[in-house]
Structure 1
Amino acid sequence: MGIFNKIFSKKSRLPESDGIFFTEIQNMLGFDPLDLSHYRKAFTHRSSNKLDEKGFPINYERLEFLGDAMLGSVIAAHLFNEVPTGDEGYLTKMRSKIVSREHLNELGRDLNLIKWVESKVSAQHFGENIHGNLFEAFIGAIYLDRGFDYCEKFIHQKVILPYVDIAQLEGKVISYKSLVIEWCQKEKKPFLYEVYEDNGVEGQKHFGVKLKIDGRVVSRARATSKKKAEEQASKRAFFAFQEKINKK
């Protein structure tokens, strides 16, 4: 009761904006935050140009690094315990599927973390990966605020329980490009990703890529980056050669 009264009393003394922030963070965590400054930092974009009393930058990038490590360790421990027959390669691949950039972005969007971002840059200029970056930074803030046990609890509740299904993950493809390249190398087929288009004004640039296998163009794709275009072209090639690629 004493601890509850202490937390309640502290919350009641917060300015209105901090009180709202406290409640939102509390709802996302499922437990009480103790130091809101960690969470404020987790949502501070580098464009804010904030410095602490020692002159060090205040933004979420270091927290992002820490959160990535915490997330990876908790997921690794879970897979290690849940799949006792999995070797190192299997466990590494499964962890990569869970903490893929696509999945982290999904988690960040689900929590709508971007609404708390403090930035001098318009939200429309943020890249898609900011959602995943914020999610990792948020985990880093939890670790600094409440320690590993609470951090692990949050990851289990928000990541493992709703999203980690071993059977489904085994069939999930995280890189069609890797699958296509692996197949080409196994079958000794020469392949080439060739950029055939690069146009548009800066900020709206599109790249076109054509994938050649055995000297023949098997797929084409366009996207806002070469990496995305290559992945899309690989995906189309994968479905064109799916039976051969999946053949053991």
Structure 2
Amino acid sequence: MRLIRKIFSKSRSLEDGIFFDSISEILGFAPLNLEHFKKAFTHRSSNKQDSIGNAINYERLEFLGDAMLSAVIAAHLFNKVPAGDEGYLTKMRSKIVSREHLNELGKDLNLVRFIESKVPVQHFGENIHGNIFESLVGAIYLDRGYEYCEKFIQKRVIIPYVDIARLEGKVISYKSLLIEWCQKEKRQFHYDIFDDNGIDGQRFFGVKLSIDEKVIAKARATSKKKAEEKASQRAYFAFQKKIDLK
């Protein structure tokens, strides 16, 4: 890495040099082509294009990184849990690469500090953290190939976060869990969603979750999906003993 850094330092700008050092520290190795990693943090609002008019942003790298994460995690689980069937392995992989978990990974590395955008960072939603984590993985694959990509995922995802026993008990979606239970128990359920704007003018959604015509839980959030999930979580804890027995 020292030799690569020495060669690169002869032609890099001060700004590129700082970025190079920061990325190298996160990766654990030096990039060969810094442009891959610059693109990994370029938001579409920058309106950048290459010489033939193709958009330059992290979205294609995000797609690639998602595929690499899934492949590496799938291989790890396949080898780690030889008795796991297809359904089990799929569910465990989903828990590891869930949007919530990827957002946590992006936050832990503070990747938003590198984003080039015309939109203020505070205006981005939570998923920006996970999106750029995936785009970083995609950049690693383009820059160094599968082996380095696998090493990075092992270092930053599998070793510190993948605990099979803990993941087996982790709930990905309380809504899915609750619906599955209701269907098995032949219980009627309904999510009643309505606008619930606050005094600050920000748009909120309220939800009432009814089971067998009785309101079990209420919640409020900035999106319908979040409000439903929050209400489902509250309902789950109300019925936890019954659900966990199934």
- For the aligned pair, the TM-score class normalised by the smaller chain equals over 0.9
Task: Pick the aligned partner of 1:232 from 220, 230, 233.
Answer: 230
Sort the Cα spacing of 1:203 and 1:197 in 2 relative to 1 into closer, same or farther, 3 A: closer
CA distance in 1, matches of 2:4, 2:191: 61
* Runs of 4 or more above 3 Å deviation: 3-7, 200-203
Structure 2 contact 61–139 (Cα < 8 Å) conserved? yes
For the aligned residues, what is the CA RMSD? 1.5
CA distance in 1, matches of 2:195, 2:44: 33
CA distance in 1, matches of 2:96, 2:200: 33
Any idea what the Cα deviations from partners look like across 1:6-63, whole Å, max 9, x if unmatched? 5422234311111111100110000110000000000000000000001000000000
Question: Which range is displaced more, 137-146 or 202-211?
Answer: 202-211
Any idea what the Cα deviations from partners look like across 1:58-117, whole Å, max 9, x if unmatched? 000000000000000000000000000001110000001000101000000111110010
Q: What SS class does the counterpart of residue 221 from structure 1 fall into?
A: strand
CA distance in 2, matches of 1:72, 1:42: 18
Residue 168 of structure 1 corresponds to: 166
Structure 2 contact 191–208 (Cα < 8 Å) conserved? yes
Instruction: Give matches, 1:43-82, under 5 Å.
Output: 43-82=41-80
Structure 2 contact 196–220 (Cα < 8 Å) conserved? no
Residue 192 of structure 2 corresponds to: 194
CA distance in 2, matches of 1:176, 1:6: 48
CA distance in 2, matches of 1:121, 1:7: 32
Question: What are structure 2's unaligned runs of at least 5 residues?
Answer: none
Any idea what the Cα deviations from partners look like across 1:144-185, whole Å, max 9, x if unmatched? 001110000000000000000000000111100011000000
Residue 114 of structure 2 corresponds to: 116
Structure 1 contact 75–95 (Cα < 8 Å) conserved? yes
Q: In percent, how many aligned pairs have the same letter? A: 69
CA distance in 2, matches of 1:202, 1:57: 37
CA distance in 2, matches of 1:132, 1:95: 16
Relative to the length of structure 1, the TM-score reads 0.96
CA distance in 2, matches of 1:203, 1:22: 42
CA distance in 2, matches of 1:124, 1:202: 17
Structure 2 contact 195–204 (Cα < 8 Å) conserved? yes
Structure 1 contact 50–57 (Cα < 8 Å) conserved? yes
Residue 143 of structure 2 corresponds to: 145
How many residue pairs align between the two structures? 246
Counterpart of 1:76 in structure 2: which amino acid?
A: A
CA distance in 1, matches of 2:140, 2:119: 26
Structure 1 contact 205–224 (Cα < 8 Å) conserved? yes
Relative to the length of structure 2, the TM-score reads 0.97
Structure 2 contact 62–136 (Cα < 8 Å) conserved? yes
CA distance in 2, matches of 1:10, 1:232: 49
Cα drift, residue 204 of structure 1 = 2.2
Residue 219 of structure 1 corresponds to: 217
Q: What SS class does the counterpart of residue 196 from structure 1 fall into?
A: strand
Structure 1 contact 12–19 (Cα < 8 Å) conserved? no
Residue 97 of structure 2 corresponds to: 99
Counterpart of 2:56 in structure 1: which amino acid?
A: I
Sort the Cα spacing of 1:203 and 1:173 in 2 relative to 1 into closer, same or farther, 3 A: farther
Cα drift, residue 203 of structure 1 = 8.1
Residue 30 of structure 1 corresponds to: 28
Question: Which range is displaced more, 93-102 or 194-203?
Answer: 194-203
Sort the Cα spacing of 1:192 and 1:166 in 2 relative to 1 into closer, same or farther, 3 A: same
Any idea what the Cα deviations from partners look like across 1:131-154, whole Å, max 9, x if unmatched? 000000000000000111000000
CA distance in 1, matches of 2:89, 2:210: 32
